Structure 1
Amino acid sequence: MNDSDDDNDIQLSAHALAALREFQLEQQKKQYAGLNNYATGSIDEDWQLSQFWYNDETALRLAQEAIEASGHNGKIACISTPSVYQKLKQLWNGEFSAVLLEYDRRFSVYGNEFVFYDYNNPMNLHEDLQPHSCDIVIVDPPYLSEECLSKITLTVKYLTKGKILLCTGAIMEDLAAKLLSVKMCKFLPKHNQNLANEFCCYTNYESRLDLDSIC
């Protein structure tokens, strides 16, 4: 084999590698097509991470509430509420911003607005998250436990300028009131999967979520 044959082999290998990369890119585009559109539920729930996505109606209602409560050019922090974050991005009109704090790194596809978050280290936050920098924090602790809510409370109080929208079980009502000074709303969030525990919304401000009849 002469030098010319060696060059041809190298060129073919480079061409094959480029084709492979193009194929892989197309596969990724197909895989995350829903994510690029911020489609609610475009990432499957991982029950081992205690993930239960809101249905589309609930995600929309909570996103609308967060937008209204944050005000013009408001900043919204979503802690362990990726389906609300996705709905916020669908509704984005340039008049608010949102950031997602989430343990599941699959949501890193959302770029700089994704911040890895582990409630076990509630103050281990990205340096871009300044104290009292968010007009409202919407949070759904992954576990119905005093430990989980107590630790996440540290993050919530650090980030919020004042407004808090909490979604958690009805059994957490007393502890939520004690830690975050929130009260239960009439609006009941729904999930794609039926949960054994009754789920509720809580706020520390006057909210339209309290105008709905309990159903």
Structure 2
Amino acid sequence: MSDSNDDDDVPTLSAHTLAALQEFYSETRTGPDHNQPQSDQFAVGALEEDWRMSQFWYSDETAAQLAEEVVREAGEGGRIACLSAPSVYQKLKQGVVEGSDRVSAVVLEYDRRFATYGDEFIFYDYNKPLSLPSDVAPQSFDIVLADPPYLSEECLSKVAATIKYLSKGKVLLCTGAIMEKLAKELLDVKICCFLPKHNRNLSNEFRCFVNYPSRLLS
């Protein structure tokens, strides 16, 4: 690559390309339309995936099955934390999962577009795993469902620290199959037979892990 600073070497974009790029960024930063029915605001995919933040939404069927799982395990009046798993949070808020009206849920996300969900949004940066609002008490969630954004030892280790802080005990982890050994070491989880799917195919095999007796295991 040339180190020249000659302006003639700097590529330029056409007006049409610039307009298209601006439209793309505008769409990816747009939150749910509050003129839509509430169920539409919380639909899986109501916010576009942003590849810059390693976002890959679950399929509607997977989001529903995971939502059913956390509702069942949280129990009556239980609290659910969806850590980097907005698709499941959205499915819970749609009200289509039986029992979802008897639990409460929050979504922990780095993407501030989810702040449109109000007090149930908690800004979360996995690089600062314990930097949480003062009103988020330790061991205050009956189950934590987490989907670390990156397949790396550093990311999973930091997310695990957050999970241990938040959870009363139950953990549902969704991540790449290659993280199985480390997930076992950090969170004492077992791999499930249930195969989660995404709206877009991932290049890495993706699995779920739990540390409690679960229907997802068989």
The Cα of 1:76 is off from its aligned counterpart by 0.1
**Residue from 153, 161, 168 that aligns with 2:168:** 161
The Cα of 1:31 is off from its aligned counterpart by 3.2
**Residue from 46, 69, 74 that aligns with 1:70:** 74
- Greater shift, 31-40 or 137-146, is seen at 31-40
| C-alpha separation in 2, matches of 1:173 and 1:116 | 27
**Aligned match of 1:106:** 113
The aligned amino acid for 2:148 is: P
**Aligned match of 2:140:** 133
| C-alpha separation in 1, matches of 2:33 and 2:144 | 30
CA contact (8 A) 2:174 2:208 kept: yes
| C-alpha separation in 1, matches of 2:37 and 2:184 | 35
**Could you say what the CA RMSD is over the residues aligned between the two structures, in angstroms?**
1.7
Q: Deviations over 1:87-136 (max 9, x none)?
A: 01113653100011000000001000000000000000011210000000
Task: Name the SS for the 2:101 alignment partner.
Answer: coil
CA contact (8 A) 1:34 1:42 kept: no
**Aligned match of 1:48:** 52
| C-alpha separation in 1, matches of 2:126 and 2:136 | 15
- Please identify runs of 4+ aligned residues in structure 1 that moved more than 4 A: 32-35
**Aligned match of 1:151:** 158
The aligned amino acid for 1:121 is: K
CA contact (8 A) 2:38 2:94 kept: no
CA contact (8 A) 1:185 1:203 kept: yes
| C-alpha separation in 2, matches of 1:30 and 1:173 | 35
CA contact (8 A) 2:32 2:46 kept: no
Matched, 1:117 2:124: yes
| C-alpha separation in 2, matches of 1:80 and 1:34 | 24
The aligned amino acid for 2:57 is: W
The aligned amino acid for 1:175 is: L
The Cα of 1:64 is off from its aligned counterpart by 0.3
CA contact (8 A) 2:78 2:102 kept: yes
Between the two proteins, the alignment pairs up a number of residues equal to 184
**Aligned match of 1:58:** 62
**TM-score (norm: length of structure 2):** 0.81
**Aligned match of 1:89:** 93
CA contact (8 A) 2:138 2:167 kept: yes
CA contact (8 A) 1:79 1:100 kept: yes
| Alpha carbons of structure 1 residues 198 and 30: separation in structure 2 relative to 1, 3 Å | closer
Taking only the aligned residue pairs, the percentage that are identical comes to 60
**TM-score (norm: length of structure 1):** 0.82
